[in-house]
Amino acid sequence: MEIVIETKNLSKDYMRDDNSVTALKNVSLEVRCGEFIALMGPSGSGKSTLLHLIAAMDRPSEGEVLVLGQDLRGFRKRQLARWRNRRIGFIFQAFNLIPVLTALENVMLPLKLTILDAKEQVEHARTALELVGLGDRFHHFPRQLSGGQEQRVAIARAIATDPDFILADEPTGNLDAVSANDVLGLLAALNNEHGKTILMVTHDPHAARFAKTTRYLDKGMLLPEGQVPQDWMATPVPPPSATTPAAQAQAQ
């Protein structure tokens, strides 16, 4: 399977007041097509930073990010924006829907940057919303939706452009247990049934079980596969067994 995302010796430092803080150190990660990876680690371990760098929302201090073989370093801002629109679907912890737009309009937003005409945009958006189970909520505003529903709209928005991969930053952070399960199940289904490549950052081990692989970040460094941080207080994630949702989904 081809490599969708590859980072080589990625490092990121930034200044906080007069101090230099290292968020990422020498991270080399490969994500292949069809994978569903959960990135875990304590707060401050740099998980979100890694996600941002991959999404070209920030620039690395050192190292490279290659997406489908393309090095993002040479890109100018406008090119990066275009690229992001085509290639990535981003899901935020806080949903980040535009309050004054309806569900349908929110999902149509990224489509406005494509060459699709208005009719086609509406078609695509409807399809995406139906896929996430919100076919009856097209014209609702975010304030009229529950948290779980809002995040599902955000997922619909993320897949509307048929991106090469999906990045999710703590997607269940603001949700209650039931909604969280819905959302995670949806992501798993997208991965299993539709072959979507997903990279998900989370601190919740329960959420991580929905993914196929889990990697850990500790103090800015990516731990080799299978390795868990030493002072990690949470219960380690057992390998997928027949009883986990991920295994169940795979079995179907």
Interacting residues of 178 by C-beta distance below 8 A, sequence separation 6+: 148
Residue placing its CB nearer to other proteins in the complex, 113 or 178: 113
- Beta bridge partners of residue 3, listed in sequence order: 32
C-alpha angle 218-70-106 in degrees, rounded to nearest 5: 80
- Applying CB under 8 A, does 21 fall inside the site for other proteins? no
Q: Which of 8, 22, 33, 58 binds other proteins (CB under 8 A)?
A: 58
Q: Which of 78, 136, 177, 224 binds other proteins (CB under 8 A)?
A: 78
Q: Which of 32, 82, 139, 194 binds other proteins (CB under 8 A)?
A: 82
Size of the site for other proteins (CB under 8 A): 26
The HSE-up count of residue 68 (CA atoms within 13 Å, CB side) is 10
Kindly list the distances between the CA atom of residue 54 and the CA atoms of 13, 68, 82, 92, 200, in Å, as whole numbers in the listed order.
15, 12, 15, 15, 12
**Of the listed pieces 91-99, 196-204, 207-215, 227-235, which binds other proteins according to CB under 8 A?**
91-99
- Applying CB under 8 A, does 122 fall inside the site for other proteins? no
- Applying CB under 8 A, does 168 fall inside the site for other proteins? no
Q: Which of 33, 66, 109, 116 binds other proteins (CB under 8 A)?
A: 109
Please state the separation of Cα 6 from the chain's center in Å. Answer: 15
- Applying CB under 8 A, does 164 fall inside the site for other proteins? no
Q: Which of 84, 152, 209, 212 binds other proteins (CB under 8 A)?
A: 84
Interacting residues of 32 by C-beta distance below 8 A, sequence separation 6+: 1, 2, 3, 4, 197
- Supply the minimum distance, in Å, between the C-beta of residue 70 and other proteins: 16
Please state the separation of Cα 10 from the chain's center in Å. Answer: 19
**Of the listed pieces 100-108, 170-178, 196-204, 218-226, which binds other proteins according to CB under 8 A?**
100-108
Q: What is the DSSP letter of 161?
A: T
Counts of helices then strands in the chain (DSSP H, E): 8, 10
User: What is the Rg, in whole angstroms, of the alpha carbon atoms belonging to the chain?
Assistant: 18
- Supply the minimum distance, in Å, between the C-beta of residue 86 and other proteins: 8
Binding site for other proteins (CB under 8 A): 52, 55, 57-58, 77-78, 81-86, 90, 92, 94, 96, 98-101, 105, 109-110, 112-113, 157
